Structure 1
């Protein structure tokens, strides 16, 4: 390691000791559900956990001071099943926090995050990934907020009846009328509207009515890697005008143009054979053959830094953050293999000329600002209007 790189890494560690790094998205709760049935007696997060990218020692080494834990449930779950499973995931996160009180602390507000960090704890916030989790009910939305959920990603990979996803065939052309009620109610509650996973048209519709800053909890820059999960420049500029933040993800297919091209090649081969690219068994079988002549390219830490820099150039350094999506993806860029690797990314940015103030904003200052503004907007709106009681009989109505 060069002396310059070593000095940058020392500075990165120092910044992370003094300022909370707040990551926008981590899927450890679903990994614990899949691998251990959600039974925390079967897993010890105070040591290495096989098959995960996240545990308490690695969070500490990575300088993580705040984490949005995702209470993701698959989009194939609908109605009561989606709500029940989401509640079980919230319960799992709350039990995890209670089980490790010397390391984790619950956080509902920006002040809670800073207080936890000052006490040497990792502030633990909750984000729900996908509007299917509310089953077309504003009452369920309110109850999720009461249970600690502080952002809702409006869709996951599939459309919901009131909003189009980035990775599904468009139905509404954006946000439906009930979706607008969801956004209004989220602002009244002080719950952040998360636009990762939604179609660009949906995001534009949200930004057209937003009363508080939004966030993209785990997305990249479309101009750097042309993937529908990434954010086009016009939306980055509108996010900046809204006061929001785009938290850059580490998912290789969203990060690396070479990796994206490889995936498109695999999907073209599936299509050539008349197979559904979303069929896991078919995809795995074809991929095993495809790899023989088409080695899978590796994404890199430097490519993630390229996304961070692009968002900062287009939206401004006040509107970029980090949302790794650890334990939500099978593969990660070289140099960012687990949650211990954040200092290396900060060091890379420092070597590219980033100042300490810009790094402090990136790692947590920007999302803390968004939380505080959303809280202030909520206080105003809650005094002005009653809880919404929109008709959910036709959530997609125009």
Structure 2
């Protein structure tokens, strides 16, 4: 800052400044003292030093205002402060509890939740570290000296903050010296979090989410970073790099069509439902808006049942009823969404600022024994039909069937011809191996797997072999990686976002970038650590950017490949050869 008071020189300097690249916007939570929101200067300086643009967020409880602020952020820094009210953690206060500020607690917890829902990178410091762990489901010690039940080092130093007072061991084995100003601490780690720093007395000093860019430290690195400490500066550097990557992911999602090719949301509600609200499912307009997802395919899923005449007719009626319920959503929310039948309609909806919902049928059992039902589904707006589900049907053998037909039935071959004629994509997810190869043989046009992964990485019959993947690619088709944990990792409870990215990488290497996409299977039990709902799908983009995928690559993976096949199949029905 200049010491000159020449206002003309000041304005000249401001006017001539050229912003070459916008810095990531980092929300900085405020402390609350005597009715005033305030932030210690080192927090701001450390963010600026690392390349971020700090945005101080005043303490307030108005969710409209807080949401509007968080919506434009690329990262959130939770700062230090006083004790956390134990009532939020369903605990009674112990005598050693010190000053709490419930207003700040409401504000902090609201901020974290808003940031969590939008997948922002989050860094917590001291109190921010503790309340971050609590917000994600962990517990705290109200006072370490009263509750740790072991000898402790001094955790509340009297020295200046720029001085270090004790050491911590990092996960990689290194030992660093830190400053310390606390008497509360993390007790039980939040689910999906790991400890990466611990004091010599066993008190937790650092946690991070195993998949997301969320971490906290118990010490005050901001005071050390602005005084040249390399370890502290690297913590802020890591945080700002994550924020830059997240900002890039959001910008890419603005430019491209992002499409999830398979969700079972109509299945989880037996009657009417409302995708404009967060009613318990993993897919809704709110999540699509928070996660910057443009389009989802919602399918009428039909469990395989008795194949006699009456049950088959009932299956058709049920599919039509579920499709009608999805279409009713457009009447409820005409300014937020539309039903899309073609790739062009998806693009038109995006330009209008609306979300697109595509219709599909999961299990050709819904066709019954009547080929005319295919044209009927086409008229309803269905863009693909999954030939079977868990069990053989009149069309083909299932991956979980008994091999009744040895692949396609004679009726199944007619079904594929009629789907080609009407412009409905043939979906072979859930199909037996021979069904896949015969579908490729009998379809005049490329086929899709709306939600399937690589058998080479997870040996499950629902996944596709290398031979099948290459054959689908050779015919110009696309396979959408499924996020169902049993298809991603043989140890289902460990199945993670990183595992899904391995499937994407494997299939891209094997098939080529033009033949892979993403179909979550959300609301059909699809979910992974780090990606459990539609608002978390942007985390896939972040991971792929980390690995060097370009915007052009992501455009193909996030919908371009699927829409290419959709366009080709639909064009064929309009202009038959």
Equivalent residue for 1:90? 323
Equivalent residue for 2:275? 45
Equivalent residue for 2:480? 247
* Cα deviation code 1:131-170 (max 9, x no counterpart): 1001021111111111111100000111112300011111
Q: CA deviation at 1:60?
A: 0.9
* Cα deviation code 1:266-318 (max 9, x no counterpart): xxxxxxxxxxxxxxxxxxxxxxxxxxxxxxx3210000101111111111111
Q: Are 2:263 and 1:67 equivalent residues in the alignment?
A: no
Runs ≥4 residues deviating over 4 A: none
* Cα deviation code 1:336-365 (max 9, x no counterpart): 011101111111011111111111110011
Equivalent of 1:324, from 504, 520, 523?
520
Equivalent of 1:16, from 253, 266, 276?
253
Q: Are 2:305 and 1:76 equivalent residues in the alignment?
A: yes
Structure 2 counterpart SS, 1:374: helix
Equivalent residue for 1:124? 357
Structure 1 counterpart SS, 2:451: strand
Structure 2 counterpart SS, 1:218: coil
Q: 1:66–1:125: 8 Å Cα contact kept in structure 2?
A: yes
> Matches of 2:331 and 2:255 in 1, distance apart?
25
Equivalent residue for 2:22? none
Structure 1 counterpart SS, 2:294: strand
Q: CA deviation at 1:380?
A: 2.8
Q: CA deviation at 1:242?
A: 1.1
Query: Which structure has the bigger radius of gyration?
Result: 2
Which has the larger share of helix?
Answer: 1
Q: Are 2:503 and 1:307 equivalent residues in the alignment?
A: yes
> Matches of 1:146 and 1:45 in 2, distance apart?
23
Equivalent residue for 1:257? 490
Equivalent residue for 1:31? 268
Q: 2:292–2:538: 8 Å Cα contact kept in structure 1?
A: yes
Q: Are 2:514 and 1:351 equivalent residues in the alignment?
A: no
Equivalent residue for 1:213? 446
Equivalent residue for 1:107? 340
Q: 1:187–1:374: 8 Å Cα contact kept in structure 2?
A: yes
* Cα deviation code 1:203-247 (max 9, x no counterpart): 100111221111100111111111111111111111111111101
Q: Are 2:576 and 1:339 equivalent residues in the alignment?
A: no
Normalising by structure 2, what TM-score? 0.57
Q: 2:262–2:451: 8 Å Cα contact kept in structure 1?
A: yes
Structure 2 counterpart SS, 1:366: helix
- Could you tell me which runs of 5 or more consecutive residues in structure 2 were left unpaired when the two chains were aligned: 1-212, 214-237
> Matches of 2:468 and 2:536 in 1, distance apart?
29
Q: CA deviation at 1:177?
A: 1.5
> Matches of 1:143 and 1:375 in 2, distance apart?
15
Equivalent of 2:569, from 351, 374, 395?
374
Q: CA deviation at 1:32?
A: 2.1
Which has the larger share of strand?
Answer: 2
Equivalent residue for 2:555? 360
Normalising by structure 1, what TM-score? 0.82
Q: 1:4–1:351: 8 Å Cα contact kept in structure 2?
A: no
Structure 2 counterpart SS, 1:64: coil
The higher relative CO (CA closer than 8 Å, separation ≥ 6) is in 1
> Matches of 1:5 and 1:320 in 2, distance apart?
26
CA change 1:151–1:45 in 2 (3 A) is closer
